[in-house]
Structure 1
Amino acid sequence: MTTPHDKFSAALTSLPLVAILRGLRPDEALPVGQALLATGWRLIEVPLNSPQPLQSIEAMAAALPTALIGAGTVLSAAQVRDVHAAGGQLVVSPNFDPDVVREAVRLGMVCLPGVMTATEAFAALQAGATGLKLFPAEMMAPAALKALRAVLPGPTLLLPVGGITPGNMAAWRAAGASGFGIGSALYAPGMTAAQVAENAMEFMAAYAAGPAIRK
C-alpha cells in the first residue's frame, strides 16, 4: 500500500513543487488538478480559506490517487481531522502549531508547518513535522535559508513559499532549498486549466535548469 509519505518522497525525487490553489472552487478542482497531474505535478494543496475547500480536496483525492492532495492554511487539529476525513493526505500551515503537527502525525499525514526562525524550525521538527515551509519567503533571502541549513539536521526538507517565481528559484536552490510552494504565479481565481498548465510547465523548466552556480 502506498502511504502519503511514499507519495511525498516520490514527488520530491521527480518534481518537488507544491501547487497552492488558493481560491479554487469545487467545479474547477478536477480540471485544474488533472492539468497539473498531466504536466508532472504531484503535490497539490487547497488552502482552507478557499470556497468549499473540503469538496475540492475530496474530489481530487478520489480522482487523482497518484497525487498527494491536501490542504493549506490548516490552523487547528480539528481542521486536520476534517482534511483527513475528506481524503486529504497533506497538511500545510502558515505557522507552527504543535497540536496541528501532532494530529497530522497521528493520522499518518505529510505535514509542512510554516516557520521563519531557527527556534520555530527546531520545535516543528521535534513535534514530528515532515518538512518545513519557509514562510513568507518574501521576508527572507536565500542567505537566510543557507544559514538555517547550516544548523538544521542534514536531511531537513526546506521549502520556501511566498513570492517564488521561475526567475528566483535558482538562487534559492543554490542556498539549499529542497523544493518550493507555488501560489498565485501558478494559479489565481479565474485562470483556466490550460493557463495553469502553461504556468506549471514554465516552473518545471526553471526547476530543471538547476540551481545558480556560486563563484
Structure 2
Amino acid sequence: MSQKTEQLLSLLDGQPVIPVLKIDDVDDAVPLARALARGGLRAVEITLRTAGALECIRRAATEVPEAIVGAGTILDAAQFDDAAKVGSRFIVSPGITHDLLLAASRSDVPLLPGAITPAEIMTARDAGLDFLKFFPAEQAGGAAFLKALASPFAGIRFCPTGGVSRNNVQDYLGLPNVVCVGGSWVAPDNLVRAKDWTAIEALAREAAGLRKG
C-alpha cells in the first residue's frame, strides 16, 4: 500500500488544490475537466453524489487525456470497483473500512481514505498508508487540529477537505503535514450551471498558483 501512496503522490505532482466536483449534468464533465486542466489543476475528484457520476468519470477520463480523473465519496468495495472500471486513476473515500482496504489491496488504483480520529489514522498506518484525507476538515477542528496531529503522527500526511475555501486555504497549506487540499470553490455550482468555463479556468489558475508553506 505504501507503494501505491507514492503512486498517488506522483499523480498529484505537487498540485496544491484538488477540485472536488459534484456534476449534475454529464455533458458538463468534459468541458469542466478541460477548463480545470487548462488552469493548471489536472487532477480532479468527481464525487459519486449524483446519478451520472460514473458516466462523468468515464467521459472525462476518456475525452480529456490531460486530466487525471479520480472518484470521490466512495463508500464501499463495490463502488471502488465500479469507479476503477470507468477509468478512475485514484479513489477517495470519506472514511476507512476493512472492505475498502481489501478492495484497494487487490487493485492497481491507489486509495486516499478519510481519517480524522487517532484510531482511524493508526488503522491506515497499520495498512501501510501514510497519505490520508482529513474530512470534514473545518468541522473536525480545522488547521489547529491538524497541526496538533503532526507530532504524534510524524510521517503521516493529509489532504484536508470540507470547509476549505479561498479564505482559509493558506492556513492548511502552511502546515508541514499537509500535502494539498480538496476544495469545491474552484468550480462553484453557479459557474458550472452557467457553463462559464472561462471563469472556472481563472479560478483554477489562481488555485494552482498557491504555494506550500
Aligned to 1:29: 29
SS at match of 2:179: coil
| Residues 135, 165 of structure 1: alpha-carbon distance in 2 compared, 3 angstrom cutoff | same
Aligned to 1:147: 148
Aligned to 2:77: 77
Structure 1 segment 13-24 matched on structure 2, within 5 A: 13-24=13-24
Q: Which has the higher contact order (CA 8 A, sep 6+)?
A: 2
| Residues 88, 34 of structure 1: alpha-carbon distance in 2 compared, 3 angstrom cutoff | same
Structure 1 segment 1-215 matched on structure 2, within 5 A: 8-129=8-129, 131-139=131-139, 140-154=141-155, 156-176=156-176, 177-184=178-185, 186-188=187-189, 189-192=192-195, 193-205=197-209, 207-208=210-211, 210-211=212-213
Task: Render the CA deviation track for 1:74-117: whole Å, top value 9, x for unaligned.
Answer: 01101111011111121111111221133123211121111111
| Residues 55, 17 of structure 1: alpha-carbon distance in 2 compared, 3 angstrom cutoff | same
Unaligned runs of 5+ in 2: none
C-alpha displacement at 1:163, in angstroms? 1.4
Task: Render the CA deviation track for 1:134-187: whole Å, top value 9, x for unaligned.
Answer: 111112121211121212242x32011011122212221222211001124533
Say how many residue pairs are matched: 206
- Percent same amino acid among aligned pairs? 29
Unaligned runs of 5+ in 1: none
Quick one: distance in 1 between partners of 2:17 and 2:96? 21
C-alpha displacement at 1:22, in angstroms? 1.2
Does the Cα contact within 8 Å between 2:5 and 2:111 map onto a contact in 1? no
Quick one: distance in 2 between partners of 1:63 and 1:71? 16
Cα root mean square deviation, aligned: 2.3
Does the Cα contact within 8 Å between 1:7 and 1:67 map onto a contact in 2? no
TM-score where L is the length of structure 2: 0.86
TM-score where L is the length of structure 1: 0.85
| Residues 5, 137 of structure 1: alpha-carbon distance in 2 compared, 3 angstrom cutoff | closer
Quick one: distance in 1 between partners of 2:84 and 2:203? 29
SS at match of 2:138: helix
